[in-house]
Amino acid sequence: MEPANTEFELRGVNHLALVCSDMKQTVDFYSGVLGMPLVKTIELPMGWGQHFFFDCGGGNALAFFWFPDAPEAVPGVSAPRTLPERGELLSAIGSMNHVAIDVPPERIEEYRDKLLAKGLDVGVVLNHDDSEFGVSPEMHDGVFVRSIYFKDPDGILLEFAAWTRDLSETSAVRHEPKTAADRTV
Map out the domains of the chain with their CATH numbers. Answer: 1-71 (3.10.180.10), 83-169 (3.10.180.10)
Mean pLDDT over 63-89 rounds to 88
For residues 4 and 159, the model is more confident at 159
Comparing C-alpha atoms, which of 66, 24, 27, 73 is closest to residue 48? Answer: 66
Confidence at residue 2, expressed as pLDDT on a 0 to 100 scale:
63
- pLDDT tops 60 at residue 1: no
Confidence at residue 169, expressed as pLDDT on a 0 to 100 scale:
57
Mean pLDDT over 9-23 rounds to 86
Type of residue at 82: T
Please state, rounded to an integer, the average pLDDT across all residues of the chain: 88
List, for residues 20-42, the tens digit of each pLDDT value.
999 999 999 999 999 999 999 99
| Separation CA 6–CA 154 (nearest Å) | 39
| Separation CA 147–CA 88 (nearest Å) | 16
Q: Cβ neighbours of residue 176 under 8 Å, at least 6 residues apart?
A: none
Q: Give the containing element (helix H, strand E) for 63.
A: strand 61-66
List, for residues 126-174, the tens digit of each pLDDT value.
999 888 888 988 999 889 999 999 999 999 999 999 999 877 655 666 7
Confidence of residue 78 (pLDDT cuts 50, 70, 90): confident
Confidence at residue 180, expressed as pLDDT on a 0 to 100 scale:
82
CA 3 to chain centre: 23
